[in-house]
């Protein structure tokens, strides 16, 4: 398509704008396509096939046929394939970063950071492929031996968000491929190109046709296509990252078929600062945790609870550092925060700021939309005098707005932090080791940052509790087990104890 934007890729073959099914680049059966928009300029720069329900069966059948062979690959062979895939991703990181910037809006330095984070999963799960092990147990009945083996589930479906489109595809696909499963991935309508680039690199790495398939689609077709994937009898596992509302819908779709399901859902994460914390350390952790990708991360700090004795000092220090953030297009090397990825995000954060002001909040810095290149920009914003009556106390923001809530006691902080239906991540900053351990045990979340901000890593189990979902997507054993079945064997011997 004609576009004023030229990506200037070093390797133009990396740019793929067709669906990838059974080793072939294909159009939708309907022939329809949809536009991809640069959030930093609100300009169209590419298009993709609008895959729909009628395109699902061919992709799943291809993945099922490929599974019959791929499941027989030895662990070493699967590890070698992932290692080749990993090397190709790192080799093409410059072009991948460029595509990421134009799809998501994030600054170039963050795009490189995402690729390094994403490739940590291909590297980690290359090792996990050879660490899959069964067990044996002594039996209560004489003459018996009990043992287990692990086997891949089969065809898996991955429904992937737009905020970290390369990392989220690879966190899911790397575990599945290491286990011996095949995959059909549905990227977000905002960010299909990065997923298609990964399909191209997977093919170059030597994955057989049908092992990894990608179905781009529009927002309008996403519900029906996702439902078709969830309900297809040959799909044995679904993994989804996104909102709690959609996660519950998908769980209902999977219920009839009793599909194995991993859900990484909403956050609304609390960040608790006690009066004995090192404030410089705390602010240095909070700024990137909150404003990375303009606050559009599920584990970002959403509600910051600050002990009253240090409230004003902490607010001033945080505001000072926040004002140093430079907002602009992701390709500008001076940019440290880009636009929001979708225009509806602007309306949400603007609404939360107005609601906070109506309910007694004070905007310490920021608070406004920015008119830059016609993109989806909003100032990094700090709100003080926040209260539980504000929308920001109960709604996940998913934008560059941060509210500071005062508290007095540890018990009060725990109660406020846990006062949410969600439980993805929580953060605590204190130099009191006893208090730190109590907070670790008492905060209701699947992941707790202890004097740490973003702690997501390939070797660390990732996942939430409560309305933030279930299952783990990284870490030793637990993540790859999401793609395996455990089969038990009981052997009875003659002539042996």
The answer to whether 368 and 400 have CB atoms below 8 angstroms apart is: no
Vertex 196: Cα angle to 193 and 197 (nearest 5): 85
Taking residue 32's Cβ as centre, other Cβ atoms within 10 Å add up to 15
Q: Is 159 exposed, middle or buried (0-12, 13-18, 19+ CB in 10 A)?
A: buried
As a whole number of angstroms, the distance between CA 458 and CA 45 comes to: 33
Closest CA to 256 of 242, 243, 238: 238
Closest CA to 371 of 407, 341, 328: 328
Q: What is the residue whose two structure tokens read 């489109």?
A: 165
Residues acting as catalytic residues:
264, 298
As a whole number of angstroms, the distance between CA 16 and CA 490 comes to: 50
- CB contact set of 344 (below 8 Å; sequence gap of 6+): none
The sign of the CA dihedral 400, 403, 404, 408 is negative
Structure tokens at 79: 């590890």
Taking residue 139's Cβ as centre, other Cβ atoms within 10 Å add up to 13
Structure tokens at 380: 């990094």
Q: What is the residue whose two structure tokens read 């505001």?
A: 319
């Amino acid at each position: 398509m004609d576009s004023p934007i030229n990506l200037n890729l070093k390797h133009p073959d990396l740019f793929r704008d067709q669906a990838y099914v059974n080793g072939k680049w294909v159009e939708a059966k309907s022939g329809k396509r949809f536009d991809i928009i640069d959030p930093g300029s609100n300009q169209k720069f590419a298009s993709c096939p609008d895959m729909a329900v009628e395109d699902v069966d061919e992709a799943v059948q291809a993945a099922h046929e490929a599974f019959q062979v791929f499941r027989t690959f030895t662990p070493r062979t699967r590890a070698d394939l992932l290692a080749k895939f990993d090397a190709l991703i790192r080799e093409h990181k410059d072009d991948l970063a460029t595509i990421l910037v134009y799809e998501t809006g994030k600054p170039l330095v963050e795009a490189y950071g995402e690729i390094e984070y994403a490739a940590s999963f291909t590297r980690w799960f290359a090792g996990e492929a050879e660490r899959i092990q069964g067990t044996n147990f002594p039996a209560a009945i004489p003459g018996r031996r009990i043992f287990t083996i692990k086997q891949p589930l089969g065809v898996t479906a991955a429904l992937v968000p737009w905020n970290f489109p390369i990392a989220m595809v690879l966190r899911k696909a790397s575990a599945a491929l290491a286990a011996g499963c095949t995959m059909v991935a549905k990227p977000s309508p905002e960010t299909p190109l990065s997923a298609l680039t990964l399909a191209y690199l997977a093919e170059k790495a030597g994955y057989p046709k049908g092992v990894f398939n990608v179905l781009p689609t529009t927002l309008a077709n996403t519900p029906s296509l996702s439902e078709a994937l969830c309900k297809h009898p040959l799909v044995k596992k679904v993994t989804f990252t996104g909102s709690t509302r959609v996660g519950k819908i998908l769980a209902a779709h999977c219920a009839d078929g009793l599909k194995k399901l991993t859900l990484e859902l909403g956050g609304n994460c609390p960040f608790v600062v006690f009066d004995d914390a090192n404030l410089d350390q705390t602010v240095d952790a909070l700024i990137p945790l909150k404003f990375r990708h303009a606050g559009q991360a599920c584990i970002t700090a959403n509600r910051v609870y600050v002990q009253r004795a240090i409230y004003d000092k902490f607010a001033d220090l945080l505001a000072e550092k926040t004002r140093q953030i430079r907002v602009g297009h992701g390709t500008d090397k001076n940019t440290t925060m880009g636009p929001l990825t979708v225009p509806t995000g602007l309306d949400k954060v603007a609404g939360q700021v107005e609601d906070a002001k109506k309910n007694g909040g004070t905007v310490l810095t920021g608070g406004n939309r920015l008119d830059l290149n016609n993109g989806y920009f909003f100032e990094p914003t700090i709100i003080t005098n926040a209260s539980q009556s504000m929308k920001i106390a109960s709604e996940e923001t998913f934008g560059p707005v941060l509210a500071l809530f005062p508290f007095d006691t540890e018990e009060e902080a725990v109660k406020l932090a846990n006062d949410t239906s969600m439980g993805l991540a929580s953060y605590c900053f204190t130099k009191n080791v006893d208090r730190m351990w109590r907070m670790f045990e008492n905060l209701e979340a699947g992941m707790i940052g202890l004097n740490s901000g973003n702690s997501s890593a390939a070797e660390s189990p990732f996942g939430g509790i409560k309305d933030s979902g279930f299952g783990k997507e990284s870490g030793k054993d637990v993540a790859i087990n999401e793609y395996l079945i455990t089969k038990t064997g009981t052997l009875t011997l003659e002539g042996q104890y």
